[in-house]
Chain A
Amino acid sequence: MEVVEKKNKNKQYKPILDGIPDWPVYQLSKNRKEFIEEVAQKTFAHIKKNRPSPKQIIDEIQATVYREQQRMKRNRWRVDPADEPKFWSTIKNEVVALSTKSPEESEAKADEILYRIVFRYANEIAGNFKATSYRLTREIIKFWFARLLNGARVKKFGAFFRNRYSLRDKIHIVGKVGQLRKLAKEGTIVMVPTHFSNLDSILIGWIIHSLGLPAFIYGAGLNLFNIKIFAYFMNSLGAYKVDRRKKNAPYLETLKFYSMLAVQKGAHSIFFPGGTRSRSGRLEKQLKLGLLSSTIEAQRNLYMETPVGEPVRKIFIVPVTLNYHFVLEAPDLIDDYLSSKGQDRYLPEQDKYGSWQLLQFLFKFFTKGSNISVSIGPGLDIIGNHVNDAGNSLDAHGRIIDTRDYFISNGTVTADKQREDEYTRMLSQKIVSEYHRINRVFASHLVAFVAFELWQKKHPNLDLFGLLRLPEEDQEIKYEEFRAACKRVRKEIYRLKAENKIYHATHLKGKIDLVIRHGLDNVGIFHLKRPLLIDKDGNIITKDFSTLYYYHNRLVGYDLEKFV
């Protein structure tokens, strides 16, 4: 029995800005040279400020040269520029020569070297947005997705070239879309999505386009640029490069200033604040504070640099959750998680993907009913206050407040690192609670949660790792018991929704048997070993306990356990 899929009501959105030349990211790339110089100068000044003595600067340069040479020796990539070894050996020689110079000369020269390093990094990081290739990429992606979708869905000759379905039917966008579009005109958007899958960034890119928003910039791992075709797409979508091999201070500072100044100049950005994909399948609880704190700093800089009385461009944080029935990497992610938690008590089984599996997945994704939904959260200011459609910050009672006031001390805007660290913490907590609020429960999340909790309840003395090694004959739940528990948990989810603490997909409503069916049909649908199935006697069984645990984790944190 198939649960009928409704034709998506999502409408087509008109672009909020007419031509690409109006886009902030285009402006940024047009003035690329000046921008890179500004990044380099500000980074340089910042490093100098924190290392007042010439000795500290020279130490920093030496450490950087050493690390870079080690990296080149051990781990060179195709994208790495050819002149790299020469650049660093020149720097090394110049640093050695410093000792023969007078203190004044040596100080000036060290500064010059540091600037050269930072400038090189800024150039490496900088994105290369091109309007022509953006348009081309967009069309290619649209065209092929549509072909796949229609070819698979419409069972008629020539269906391949029909346009009956579009990606919009696969991907539901819910939440504060209208507000997001308005805010993107009023100020600068920093979108902070949850991160579960490598598909996320592609998905977000498509969503931004389909909502009629100008391209957003985001940091993409430099490893992706090794593949030429990827590099082309990434560049055209406004990505800048993040090289995770480089951990030296000048590089990290340059990176920080790059993203911060881009936001400050009005480039809409995407940060994944969880830092990395969620390994456990839980909604992010701990966020990386670095990017959030540079967002706050960018806003404060705007307040400081704009003369009093003139309008200041505001930065809006928009939390987004991505909701899947199926996460391609789930078995690997949960293995990572369990091995780091369980140490030697957990031995992961090998189960890797090649490109063939990836293709299979894409095909299945388009042919079968595994929908994705994206919840757009309400806009927040950089402290975490909700904003209205005009971009004004509101207090809990709906009164308009001035975000600038948060930075005021004795009547003027001041920079106070410790204060901003505290604001970063507040913002991060707010984002986490918004994630939980806008999270959209699917039937598959419900069944996975209930099944795992039931097993846990049956074996109260086993810890997680004991549970994962449960013999097969114990891995069975009577359908009636399962059904009753699902009903209780669903009721509680309804109650939480009424209190505005969670959302659920429309398919969660209706007859519980249908909902369970829908959930079982979809949970981890394309895994080789299904996390949850119904056996021939009509009872619930699992073929992969740890993946079930992964999908179960999506509903952890709502105190639903006691209703199972």
Chain B
Amino acid sequence: MTLKSLSENDKPIGVIGAGNFGSVIANLLARQRNVLLYARNETVVENILSKRENRGYKMHERITPTNNLSAIAEQCDIIFPIVPSAHFRSMMKELSPYLHPYHLLIHGTKGFDLMLPDGQTIDTMAKLNRSMVKTMSEVIAEESVVARVGCLAGPNLARELAEGHPAATVIASHFNEVINVGKRLLRNDHFQVYGNNDLVGVELAGVLKNVIAIAAGALSGMGYGENAKGLLISRGMVEMVYLGRALGGNTKAFLGIAGIGDLATTCNSSLSRNFNVGFRLAQGETLENILASTDEIAEGINTVQIAKKCADYYKVRAPITSTLYHVLFEEMTVKRAIEHLMRYPLNVDIDFLAE
């Protein structure tokens, strides 16, 4: 056993993506193991090397930054890809030639991948189905030979994790082995790690909650109080369940850390990027304006667009998502949107659980 754990400690853990969340996860992992952190940008690598700092976080001394992607695959057996969904597939294509079936990948990206027929863009497609919309674990499976895939989801606001506030995450995978590895590597006195076998369900929960987070920001920006938020969270939850089921997840995942846990957190936090987008919209800023002033991608905007078009394809009732779509892309004001939603004829409280 000692021999085995020795050999396990030899190899560093890989993290791909030095954004907010990537940096924090790298720091968490570095408490137990050496970490190789990939950053696309060379100045980020230099900054970490010279100042031990990135995006305002102090970087652990056991973290070695690199901008050589193949080095990650060659030196690490366990890799955490945490890059925005828009770049995820191209990153996987680049990484894939160096990956082997012995690699374990646990991603931390809460967004959808979009593969459209030639010549089409998301704006030209009226509806989207599941063959065009993929979760990150599906992208990994399509682009590489790695079978043992997992995802990291839950209420993990990077700033709070960095400060060591108590928090929890869920690792979802079809493989118990992956869940156990994730637990072993991430767990500490402030950080609890749960397991779930419904990989796609957990991924969907993490992705879809971003839609509701924008809506929560909008409510807050309008100056509305806690009643409104309670209403939004509970109805938002129902909407997530319906959409999630249409896209291949089970109800259960939405009731866990990655669903209700993450939803309650993001809807209450001004630290969340998605929340901020909604807040500023309600204050009267335009989407272009907001996008121009932030350097990190709010996954939720893209997700609203995709989720709305999927709901249309699968004929799922998703009033919050589609109203938000009108706000973001069709110049409906937040005020009108809320009026519209409040008049929406919904009558049953909970109808997604079997009696």
CA distance A423 to B148 in the complex (A): 10
Select the residue from B77, B97, B102, B148 with max chain A CB neighbours within 10 A: B102
- Could you tell me if A423 and B147 are in contact, using CB atoms closer than 8 angstroms? yes
Report if A422-B175 is in contact (Cβ < 8 Å); known contacts: A397-B96, A406-B147, A410-B77. yes
The answer on a CB contact under 8 Å between B7 and A401 is no
Q: Does B343 contact A (CB under 8 A)?
A: no
Task: Give the contact stretch, choosing among A131-139, A335-343, A411-419.
Answer: A411-419
A-chain residues with CB within 8 Å of residue B145 when the two chains form the complex: 385, 395-396, 401
Complex CA distance for A397 and B77, rounded to whole angstroms = 21
Q: Do residues A383 and B97 form an inter-chain contact, with CB atoms below 8 A?
A: no
Which residues of the partner chain A approach B77 to less than 8 Å between Cβ atoms? 410-411
Chain A residues near B31 (CB, 8 Å)? none
Q: Report if A401-B100 is in contact (Cβ < 8 Å); known contacts: A409-B177, A416-B177.
A: yes
In whole angstroms, how far apart are the Cα atoms of A385 and B177 in the complex? 22
- B119 at the A/B interface (Cβ < 8 Å)? no
* Given A410-B77, A416-B177, A419-B175; A402-B100 close (CB under 8 Å): yes
A399 within 8 A of partner (CB): yes
Chain B contacts of A418 at CB under 8 A? 175-177
A399 CB contacts on chain B under 8 angstroms? 97
A418 and B174 CA atoms in complex are apart in Å by 9
Alpha-carbon distance A426/B177, docked complex (angstroms): 16
Residues on A with C-beta less than 8 A from B97 are 397, 399
Least CB distance, B101 to chain A, in whole angstroms: 4
For A401, what are the chain B residues with a Cβ–Cβ distance below 8 Å?
100-101, 145
Determine the chain A residues whose CB is within 8 A of the CB of B174 once the complex forms. Answer: 422, 425
Q: Is B4's beta carbon under 8 Å from chain A? A: yes
Residue of A nearest to B97 (CB): A399
The answer to whether the Cβ of A403 comes within 8 Å of any Cβ in the partner chain is yes
B8 at the binding interface (Cβ < 8 Å): yes
A422 and B199 alpha carbons, distance in the complex (Å): 13
A112 interface residue, CB < 8 Å from B?
no
Q: State whether the Cβ of A37 lies closer than 8 Å to any Cβ in chain B.
A: no
Find chain B residues with CB under 8 A from A422 CB.
147, 174-175
How many A residues are at the interface, by size bracket? 20 to 34
Give complex CA distance A412, B147 in Å.
17
In the bound assembly, the distance between CA atoms of A345 and B56 in angstroms comes to: 71
Q: Which of B130-185 contact A (CB under 8 A)?
A: 142-145, 147-148, 174-177
Report the bound CA distance from A403 to B77 in whole Å: 16
B residues near A481, Cβ cutoff 8 Å = none
Complex CA distance for A399 and B177, rounded to whole angstroms: 26
- In the complex, what distance in Å separates the CA atom of A383 from the CA atom of B147? 9
Q: How far is the CA of A401 from the CA of B100 in the complex (A)?
A: 7
Contact of B102 among A395, A397, A408, A423 (CB under 8 A): A408
Check: A476 CB closer than 8 A to any chain B CB: no
Q: What is the distance, in angstroms, from A249's C-beta to the closest C-beta of chain B?
A: 24
For residue B199, give the distance in angstroms from its CB to the closest CB of chain A: 11
Rounded to whole Å, the gap between the CB of A117 and the closest CB of chain B is 33
Interface of A is mostly: mixed
Task: Report the minimum CB–CB distance from A512 to chain B (whole Å).
Answer: 30
Q: How far is the CB of B7 from chain A (nearest CB, A)?
A: 6
Expressed in whole angstroms, the Cα–Cα distance for A410 and B185 within the complex equals 14
Q: Are A426 and B102 in contact, with the CB atoms below 8 A?
A: no
Chain A, 180-208, contact with B by CB distance < 8 Å: what is the 0/1 string? 00000000000000000000000000000
Given known A-B contacts A397-B97, A410-B7, A405 and B102 have beta carbons under 8 A apart:
yes
Q: Is the CB of A406 within 8 A of B175?
A: no
Interface positions of A from 452 to 506, Cβ below 8 Å from B: none
The residue among B143, B145, B177 with the most chain A CB atoms within 10 A of its own CB is: B145
Cα A422 to Cα B144 with chains together (Å): 17
Which A residues are CB-close (under 8 A) to B177?
409, 416, 418-419
Chain A: which residue is nearest B141 at the CB level?
A: A426
The 8 Å CB contact of B4, one of A408, A410, A419, A425, is: A410
**Cβ distance B89 to chain A, nearest Cβ, rounded Å:** 14
Q: How far is the CB of A379 from chain B (nearest CB, A)?
A: 17
Could you mark each residue 209-225 of chain B with 1 if its beta carbon is under 8 Å from any beta carbon of chain A, else 0? Answer: 00000000000000000
Chain B hits for A402, CB < 8 A: 100-101
Closest CB-CB distance, A394 to chain B, in whole Å? 9
Given A385-B145, A418-B176, A419-B148: A406 touches B96 (CB 8 Å cut-off): no
Which chain B residues numbered 186 to 204 have a C-beta less than 8 Å away from chain A?
A: none
Which residues of chain A are within 8 angstroms of B102 by Cβ–Cβ distance?
A: 405-406, 408-409
Please, how many angstroms separate the alpha-carbon atoms of A425 and B174 in the complex? 11
Give every chain B residue within 8 A of A425 (Cβ-Cβ).
174
Docked CA distance A419–B97 (Å): 24
CB within 8 Å of B: which A422-471 residues = 422-423, 425-426
Q: What is the bound-complex CA distance between A412 and B77, given in angstroms?
A: 12
Q: How far is the CB of A429 from chain B (nearest CB, A)?
A: 11
CB of B58 to closest CB in A, whole Å: 30
Complex Cα–Cα for A426 and B141 (A): 11
Contact B96 A426 (CB under 8 A): no
Q: How far is the CB of A463 from chain B (nearest CB, A)?
A: 22
Contact with B along A348-387 (1 / 0, CB 8 A): 0000000000000000000000000000000000010100
Chain A contacts for B147, CB-based, 8 A: 383, 406, 422-423, 426
Give B103's nearest chain A residue, CB to CB.
Answer: A405
Q: In the bound complex, how far is the Cα of B174 from the Cα of A269, in angstroms?
A: 30
Instruction: Give bound CA distance, A406 to B145, whole Å.
Output: 9
Complex alpha-carbon distance, A401 and B176, angstroms: 24
Question: How near does chain B come to A299, taking the closest CB pair, in angstroms?
Answer: 13
Cα–Cα distance between A410 and B9 once the two chains are bound (Å): 9
Q: How far is the CA of A233 from the CA of B139 in the complex (A)?
A: 51
Task: Answer whether A405 and B101 are a contact pair too, CB < 8 Å, given A385-B145, A419-B175, A422-B174.
Answer: yes
Q: B7 near A411 (CB under 8 angstroms)? A: yes
Contact with A along B66-109 (1 / 0, CB 8 A): 00000000000100000000000000000011001110000000
Q: B96 to chain A: which residues have CB within 8 Å?
A: 397
Q: How close is A510's CB to chain B, nearest CB, in angstroms?
A: 32
Closest chain B CB from A6 CB (angstroms): 39
- Which residue of B has the minimal Cβ distance to A384? B147
CA distance in complex: A244, B96 (Å): 46
Q: Which residues of A contact B8 (CB under 8 A)?
A: 410
Contact assessment for B100 and A405 in the assembled complex, using a CB-CB cutoff below 8 Å: yes
List the 4 shortest-distance A-B pairs measured between CB atoms, nearest first. A405-B101, A405-B102, A408-B102, A406-B101
Q: Could you give 29 example pairs across A and B, Cβ below 8 Å?
A: A385-B145, A395-B144, A395-B145, A396-B142, A396-B145, A397-B96, A397-B97, A401-B100, A401-B101, A403-B101, A405-B101, A405-B102, A406-B102, A408-B102, A409-B102, A410-B4, A410-B7, A411-B7, A411-B77, A412-B4, A416-B176, A418-B176, A418-B177, A419-B148, A419-B175, A422-B174, A422-B175, A425-B174, A426-B147
**Which B residues have a C-beta under 8 Å from some C-beta of A?**
4, 7-8, 77, 96-97, 100-102, 142-145, 147-148, 174-177
**A405-B100, A410-B4 given; 15 more Cβ-contact pairs under 8 Å:** A383-B147, A385-B145, A396-B142, A397-B96, A399-B97, A401-B100, A402-B101, A405-B101, A405-B102, A416-B176, A418-B176, A419-B177, A422-B174, A425-B174, A426-B147
